[in-house]
Chain A
Amino acid sequence: MNQKNPLAGFRDGLGRFGDAVHDRWLSTPGWQRWVLYVLLIVGALLLPSESLAPIMSPYTDWATILFFPIGTYVVLAIGLNVVVGQAGLLDLGFVAFYAVGGYAMALIGTRLGWNFWLILVVGIGICALSGLTLGAPTLRLRGDYLAIVTLGFGEIIRITARNTDEIGGPNGIRGIPHPPSIEDFSLFGVNFSEVFGVDPFKYGNLNTHPYYYLLVALAVIVIILVKRWEKSRVGRAWAAIREDEDAAEVMGVPTFRFKLLAFAIGASIGGAMGVLWAAKSISINPNDFQFLLSATILAAVVMGGSGNLPGVMLGAFLVAWLPERFRGLQEYRMLIFGAVLVALMIFRPEGLLPSRQRKAELQEGTGGMGTLGAEVPGPDSQVEEVASK
């Protein structure tokens, strides 16, 4: 790139600022980090405040969209990030696991009448198992073959649910039980519903706050686990597979087993969110699990910065929030959303908050997922370079 335009300058400036923040973070002492973590969680819990509603969501109920789509997308994106961002497996059917979790909650809850917490555990197990079942025959496929097979799997799950009358067919399932409520919750003599105006553990239809708190708790647990995995031997194995599967295999990484593990973990996270979502939604039906949800979550992951957790969460937040916030743009909001997606990829292909590693790869010219036309030199840029080699 010979010519520098102002936009590129802005972009580089943003990148440098990000680096500075990141350096600062790395040298921050442990206790300060913990303070920040606690502040972030408290901030997340205070987010559904009605005082934010006129700014954040003047057209729909803020607390409700904070659970779905915003919160739901964030958790799903964290799950998909394990598969796509960390292990480098292109999954276009992530919605399948969300659906399996949702149906697990709906079926067990209505047929067997189990408790929500028990179903959550069982549902996660079922989803992990379905991740393994899908992964075992297909994970030997590489790259784009995996993409179409996972896409097909997502559709198979949806259509099978639609065509099977025993699980409600196109009507889906209604009357899904809510989690057991604790009414008039008080802590240290403080009655929450009197003081804060919200009963945090009363799961009804009208008030979305309790579900949102549950979602925050789920997100926090998932983030902790995912972070631990990322920094362990497992995370390093994933990175190795992502960068070069053959090399990883030669170096003694059991690639198939680790890919399967990534699939199962991603599936469990998607499934847990499915269970929670179904418990809130009262009724589910197969149309809730369209391919477009998979595509949207993938867009969130890539847009935020594949592989970097804060980036992925930011991406999911924006993808879910922007269309709701700008309902005022009326019909044109999706048109604009599409254009923004393209523009963002042109100006910041590494995502809004990329992981440093990914950014370094980009500068080197080989993205982790394999560069678009890795073998094809870009127009007017690297041709000379190639020639000089």
Chain B
Amino acid sequence: MRPKTARLGGVLAAGVALTLGLAACGDGGTEATPAEGGSSAAAPGTIKLGFMGDLTGANAGIVIPPRNGAKLVINEYNKTNPAVKIELVEYDSQADPSKAVALAQQAIKTDKIVGLIGPAFSGESAQVAPVLEEAKLPSVSASATNAALSANGWKYWHRVLPSDNVQGPGIGDFIATGLAAKHVFVIDDKSEYGKPLADAVKSALEAKSVKLTTDSLDPTESDFSSVVNKVAAAKPDAIFFGGYYAAGGNLLKQLRDKGVKDAKFLSGDGSLDKGLIDGAGAANAEGALVGCPCYIATPDVTDAKVKAFADSYKAAYSADPAIYAAEGYDAATVFVEAIKAGNTTAEKINEFIATVDFAGVSKQVKFEANGEVSAKDIYIYQVKDGAIGLLGKANEAKLG
């Protein structure tokens, strides 16, 4: 989802280099052309999967949990002592598309991975997916939600969560029906992620003939007073912000400080982070609602499979599973299932992915022809007593 505000000037963002398994370029002289989805290079008995995303930038907070989830699956699988072991190679793109492309080329030519989990964000996905397509290398993203990605006819690209075209209407319907709001102020952050999401929410609200007022903000700023003044003048029932938590938290605080107290504040998956509460202050954030196509297990979950995942995640990383952790787990599971079934080449794995259908942690995992996942659930979360808790599915959720 996330493009590059964090890049805040791409060249500057610092980054951790690839930490795993990049020493293997001993026979560098022979590979002028890439092998077709190559499976030949890794040591016998080991094949490589890649994970690509912003692992060190400002948005690492929403990339590290899915990375951890993916690692969890692969460690579990390797512990069973299978004939073919899996090595996970990490590619830190820092959410910079041109870096992501260079890393993808490296993954294809030098590391010869057979599948990629990621890229995490939509901007980098738009540039990396065509490269993977030509290399015939399957990818499953755990967090890229931009709707336009699935409209390119890519055969090797998949994502394990529904797009903004599902999230937007889901949240829009919740605002119109669940909250019964009559007048909504929609704000976007003019980012690759926030703008299309806000647009999708707008059209869902328009369809329900809710009165709309709109403005945009620049998330690199800290003073949103011009937006806040507009909201104060408009007196809406609800405010939707399409953007990330850093700006979301500041916006929410400035709104409440300016006396906009009663309007419900809603946002999308980019704001589903504790940072929203830190930025706004616990008192201001209380009651804020966040929609997400992701499923975050709450401590009181009863489903055995989800509970097992949450427990082993906590044991491994001493933290509760956060945003997209379950999706990262499911994305990696897709590849593990394929490899378990004896598919070790990129081509074969991709064929297997088309037929995959299993109960994952976050949802039933089954892909449509364009790479979208079949399950279309959107969840609503709410800030309560300074913590984010699950309220329910968007079409069922009610305020307590």
Contact = CB atoms under 8 A, between A and B. Distances in A.
Contact of A64 (B10, B12, B101, B194): B101
Contact of B25 (A53, A198, A206): A53
Given A282-B130, A287-B4, A293 B190 contact: no
Interface string B104-120: 11101110000000000
Interface string B1-36: 001110111111111111000100100111111100
B192 A171 contact: yes
A29 B16 CA distance: 50
Contacts of A60: 99, 102-103, 105-106
B150 interface: no
A171 B103 contact: no
Contact of A205 (B28, B109, B131, B195): B131
Interface in B291-325: none
| From B22, B103, B192, residue with most partner A Cβ within 10 Å | B192
Contacts of A290: 7-10
Nearest to A198: B32
A61 B102 contact: yes
Interface stretch (A82-90, A245-253, A328-336): A328-336
A328 B16 CA distance: 7
Interface string A182-200: 0000000000010011100
A19 interface: no
Contact of B17 (A205, A330, A335): A330
Nearest to B99: A60
A10 to B, nearest CB: 29
A59 to B, nearest CB: 5
A283 B146 CA distance: 14
Interface stretch (A162-170, A235-243, A260-268, A354-362): A162-170
A64 B97 CA distance: 12
Contacts of A171: 146, 148, 192, 195-196
Contacts of B13: 334
Contacts of A143: none
Given A50-B31, A282-B127, A292-B9, A59 B18 contact: yes
A50 B33 CA distance: 10
Interface in A266-314: 281-283, 285, 287-288, 290-293, 296
A206 B134 contact: yes
B222 interface: no
A70 to B, nearest CB: 11
Interface in A47-105: 50-51, 53-54, 58-61, 63-65, 68-69
Nearest to B218: A159
B300 to A, nearest CB: 38
B98 A68 contact: yes
B54 to A, nearest CB: 13
Contacts of B18: 59, 327
A287 B3 contact: yes
Contact of B106 (A59, A162, A206): A59
| From A51, A175, A206, A207, residue with most partner B Cβ within 10 Å | A206
B191 interface: yes
Contacts of B8: 290, 292
Contacts of B10: 287-288, 290, 292-293
A61 B104 CA distance: 8
Given A204-B134, A205-B134, A292 B12 contact: yes
B25 to A, nearest CB: 5
A174 B106 contact: no
Contacts of A169: 190, 195
Nearest to A338: B12
A349 interface: no
Contacts of A287: 3-5, 7, 10, 123, 192
A162 B99 contact: no
Contact of A59 (B22, B126, B196): B22
Contacts of B196: 171
Interface string B216-250: 10000000000000000000000000000000000
| From A68, A282, A296, residue with most partner B Cβ within 10 Å | A282
B135 interface: yes
A208 B127 CA distance: 13
A112 to B, nearest CB: 20
Given A50-B30, A169-B190, A170-B191, A334 B22 contact: no
B370 interface: no
A249 B325 CA distance: 67
Contacts of A285: 3, 123, 192
A324 B17 CA distance: 9
A64 B99 CA distance: 9
B140 to A, nearest CB: 19
Contacts of A333: 14-15
Given A58-B25, A206-B135, A207-B34, A334 B105 contact: no
Interface string A140-170: 0000000000000000000000110000011
B102 A65 contact: yes
B134 A170 contact: no
B353 to A, nearest CB: 20
B87 interface: no
B78 interface: no
A15 interface: no
A61 B134 contact: no
22 contacts: A51-B28, A58-B25, A59-B18, A69-B98, A162-B190, A170-B191, A171-B146, A172-B192, A196-B32, A197-B33, A205-B131, A205-B133, A281-B127, A282-B126, A287-B3, A290-B7, A292-B8, A296-B11, A324-B102, A330-B14, A334-B12, A334-B14
Given A61-B106, A290-B7, 15 more contacts: A59-B22, A60-B99, A60-B102, A63-B105, A68-B102, A174-B126, A197-B32, A206-B105, A282-B127, A285-B192, A290-B10, A327-B17, A329-B17, A331-B16, A334-B13
The 5 residue pairs across chains A and B that have the minimum distance between CB atoms: A292-B9, A61-B105, A197-B32, A327-B17, A64-B102
